[in-house]
Amino acid sequence: MNNEVETNMEIMMVQLLFNSKPKSPTADKVKKALEKYLGDLGEVPYAEPSEKSSGDMFMFPLEKYKVVTKDHPDGIPAMAVFLSSEPESGIEVDEMARSQFWDVQDGEEIINNCKYTVLVHTMLGMGLTYQEQAEILLAQVGSALDCYPGCTGIYVAQSGKLITPDKFESFKKFSVSERFIDLFVNARFFNISDTDEMVVDTLGFYVFGAADVQMHFKKLDPTNVVNYVYNIASYQFDNGFPIQSGETIDSIDENGNIQMKTQWPVQYENSLIDPPRSVLDINCGKYAGGKR
pLDDT digits (tens, 9 = 90+) for 146-169: 999 999 999 999 999 999 999 999
Across 99-124, average pLDDT: 94
Across 261-288, average pLDDT: 97
E strands present in 193-276: 198-203, 212-217, 248-252, 258-270
Q: How far apart are the first and last CA of the chain?
A: 25
Give residue 1's pLDDT band: very low, low, confident or very high (50, 70, 90). Answer: very low
Give me the pLDDT at residue 291, please: 77
Show the CA angle centred on residue 266, arms to residues 255 and 237, nearest 5°.
85
Give me the pLDDT at residue 8, please: 56
Across 32-60, average pLDDT: 75
Across 122-127, average pLDDT: 91
Is the per-residue pLDDT at 99 higher than 60? Answer: yes
Rounded Cα gap, residues 13 and 159, in angstroms: 10
Largest CA distance in the chain: 66
Nearest Cα residue to 230 out of 180, 166, 276:
180
Is the per-residue pLDDT at 46 higher than 60? Answer: no
Q: What CA–CA distances, in Å, run from 202 to 35, 63, 188?
A: 31, 32, 6
C-alpha dihedral over 273, 274, 279, 284, to 10 degrees? -10
Is the per-residue pLDDT at 72 higher than 90? Answer: no
Side-chain-side CA neighbours of residue 190 (13 Å): 20
Give me the pLDDT at residue 244, please: 97
The pLDDT tens digits for 190-213 are 999 989 999 999 999 999 999 999
Is the per-residue pLDDT at 30 higher than 50? Answer: yes
Q: What is the pTM of this model?
A: 0.90
Please give the residue that has the higher pLDDT: either 243 or 126. 243
Nearest Cα residue to 136 out of 4, 252, 265, 11:
11
Helix (H) / strand (E) containing 41: none
Is the per-residue pLDDT at 6 higher than 80? Answer: no
Nearest Cα residue to 279 out of 269, 291, 265:
269
Kindly give, in sequence order, each residue whose CB lies less than 8 Å from that of residue 72, ignoring residues fewer than 6 positions away. Answer: none
Scored b (16 or more CB within 10 A) or e, 220-230 reads: bebebbbebbb
The pLDDT tens digits for 223-235 are 999 999 999 999 9
Least confident of 34-48, 247-261, 267-281: 34-48
Average pLDDT of the chain to the nearest whole number: 91
- Amino acid at site 291: K
Rounded Cα gap, residues 277 and 206, in angstroms: 7
Phi, psi of 203 (to 5 degrees): -135, 120
The alpha carbon of 116 is separated from its chain's Cα centroid by a whole number of angstroms, namely 21
Kindly give, in sequence order, each residue whose CB lies less than 8 Å from that of residue 209, ignoring residues fewer than 6 positions away. Answer: 1, 3, 7, 8, 9
Rounded Cα gap, residues 45 and 42, in angstroms: 10
Across 176-186, average pLDDT: 94
Where would I find the H helices in the chain?
27-38, 95-98, 107-113, 130-147, 165-170, 176-184, 222-238
Residue 30: helix, strand or coil by DSSP?
helix
Is the per-residue pLDDT at 242 higher than 80? Answer: yes
